[in-house]
A and B are shown apart, each in its own frame.
Chain A
Amino acid sequence: MTDVGATSRERTPVLSVRDLRVTFPTSTGPAPAVRGVDFDLYSGEALAIVGESGSGKSVTMLAMLGLLGRAAVTGSAKFDGTELVGLDPAKLRAIRGSKVSMIFQDPMTSLNPVLTVGRQISLVMRAHDSKLSKAAAAARAVDLLEQVAISRPQTRVHSYPHELSGGMRQRVMIAMAIANNPEVLIADEPTTALDVTVQAQIMELLGKLREEHNLALVLITHDLGVVAGATDRVNVMYAGRVVETGAVDAVFRVPVHPYTRGLLECLPRLDARQEVQVSIPGMAATPQSLPSGCPFHPRCRYAVDSCADVEPSLEPIGETLAACSVMAGVAAQ
């Protein structure tokens, strides 16, 4: 597979996903939420997975970590050479929270409301290191709170989640996520529920931690502005597949796939007033209602008849990899 924008071709990827598929059993039949996703992640790099609701962006990572109970997961997801799909649950648990951590959108529902934040951070550490004493864990918890820029960490460590603001709760989650020095941090819509100034604070924190710990970051979001500022590469997902992937620079400058183009065009810009508001007509495809051929074709202004027959695969077009037969045809000329 052609590497596009990988920061170091000689290194082996810390995360390597091939043909990952996730299907949910529903009352109306199997719903394919993820239909064959491939990507590599190198340490120290930040990959964005972008898409709207129903694109499968969160499901991809959740499935990889074995967090989806009833779904059928096939394909391969190798972390540092270890295959995660189908891995023994105990071994998977050992990796989750220590080598690979995840933070979620709404810290209020992800944090335990009856435990102090100090205890929760300690628990994460002691779950992966049975030799760590309570005292040592508590001390390190204070340390971690300081690392995530929470003021007065010695007092804050005894606070309950509901006593903290949204931004602070998210910092606590980040502290829990880096407590065991992970190699990969997955952030699922970490700032969607936060105010924009708080978002800036959190993104700055994530950037700083990435540098200090040489973390690989997977940022799942629908906010292209955040992607532009914080990531190196981006996968654009639609209807369970990656429809475009490439260096952030390239994807934003010369988007190839009509969906990517549509997304970028319909974004309201802070720095300019647009004369015409453009949007993508129709509704997003869902796993239960997948159009034939290319799933985006009913909403695509470039679609031709053959788009309904065959689903295109990713190929290099311009400076990125995109899955669009029409654009591939244009590029070939």
Chain B
Amino acid sequence: MKEIEPILAVTGLVKEFKVREHGRQVDVHAVSGVSFSVYPGETLAIVGESGCGKSTTGRCVLRLIEPTAGEVLFRGTDLLTLDSKALRKQRRHMQFVFQDAQASLHPRMTVRRLLAEPLEVHDVPKEQIEQRIHELLGLVQLRDEHLDRYPHEFSGGQRQRIGIARALAISPDLLVLDEPVSALDVSIQAEIMRLLIDLRQRLGLSYVFIAHDLAVVRQIADRVAVMYLGKIVETGPAEQVYNDPQHPYTQALLSAVPIPDPNIEHSRQRIVLSGELPSPIDPPSGCRFRTRCWRAEDRCADEEPLLVGQAHANGDGHAVACHFPGPEVSVELGATV
């Protein structure tokens, strides 16, 4: 049983966007009541496919987008109740790493200025800034000569390093990473993942790692939360979720990920989902996954399944939101040891 306090505790997070469809204003239910905790030094991965709300969740946690409702406790302080000045102060403890480093770095700022900016914003004395910049370069394995160059002069992998260095500048305790390696070539992905794992250990960071690539996530996650259409459907320790998934969507997701081994691929039995992803403007009643679920019954349309199993073990628990959870006996998921 963990007695430690979580560094981040999100409860009932909701985000609805208002859009215009056919002239009417409708609500897009991007995130509909998401709760999770992150413990110090731990990496929680939030996984899901397009439209599940994981990126929106990540941005809401740092208030880059204003949540519609909910509570985000960072070390006990509710971020959503802070005024802008206090919020800006809090930001030094939690930072964001973007998917597209090219888009997130000001094209007309040199690397030096990009790294100095967070320090200047938080009133770090000038003498210390220069030294800190060099420390940061060392952390992400860039060189001094890179300082006076502009983002567009670098490769994708290097830009991502710059983005990471910038996020680490003011020594945050928590990093929210939104698909940090998705835009990179496969051979570069591994480098950046290695860097992130290394930094995590060296600096004692906690990560919220948002991604759609389950194979990548496996390399870094301690705990995993699976999202579908704005809700968390399953969460638990990574090994458990990967080896013994309880929710049908998790099972389908894992079974869909290709494994680069022809023998395994040909002997696997795949769960191929039927149908299409419902629109977040009008999600299915009850369980949102029921329209594509092979276990669905009437109850699933009437009653929304709650995430159960979490209450009994702080964070070590494996929780599922399903009326009929359990291993899929007829399918071998190819998750070998």
Contacts and interface: CB of A to CB of B under 8 A. Distances in A.
Interface of A: 52-53, 151, 165-168, 195-201, 204, 222-229, 248-249, 252-253, 262-264, 266-274, 276-280, 283-284
A268 B193 contact: yes
Interface string B249-282: 0001111111111111110101011011100000
Contact of B197 (A165, A196, A270, A277): A277
A153 to B, nearest CB: 14
Contacts of A264: 260
Interface string B129-145: 00000000000000000
20 contacts: A166-B50, A167-B276, A168-B276, A195-B49, A195-B50, A195-B212, A198-B49, A226-B258, A228-B258, A228-B259, A229-B259, A262-B187, A263-B187, A266-B187, A266-B190, A270-B257, A270-B259, A270-B335, A271-B334, A277-B190
Interface of B: 49-50, 155, 185-191, 193-194, 197, 212-216, 218-219, 242, 252-266, 268, 270, 272-273, 275-277, 334-337
Given A196-B212, A200-B270, A201-B272, A268 B189 contact: yes
Most chain A beta-carbon contacts within 10 A, residue among B189, B194, B276, B335: B276
A47 to B, nearest CB: 14
Nearest to B196: A277
B253 A268 contact: no
Contacts of B194: 276-277, 279
Contacts of A283: 155
B335 A271 contact: yes
B261 A165 contact: no
Given A224-B260, A226-B258, A229-B265, A279 B218 contact: no
A252 B262 contact: yes
Nearest to A193: B50
Given A200-B255, A268-B193, 19 more contacts: A196-B49, A196-B256, A200-B270, A200-B272, A222-B186, A225-B257, A227-B260, A228-B260, A228-B262, A228-B264, A229-B258, A229-B266, A264-B260, A266-B187, A267-B190, A271-B336, A272-B218, A277-B193, A277-B197
A279 B190 contact: yes
A165 B193 contact: no
A99 to B, nearest CB: 29
A38 B263 CA distance: 27
Contacts of B252: 197
Contacts of B216: 268
A271 B187 contact: no
A265 B201 CA distance: 23
Contacts of A268: 189-190, 193, 213, 215-216, 218-219
B261 A228 contact: yes
Closest 8 CB pairs of A and B: A225-B258, A229-B265, A195-B49, A200-B256, A279-B190, A277-B194, A280-B187, A266-B190
Nearest to A224: B260
Contacts of A227: 260
A224 B261 CA distance: 9
Contacts of B242: 270
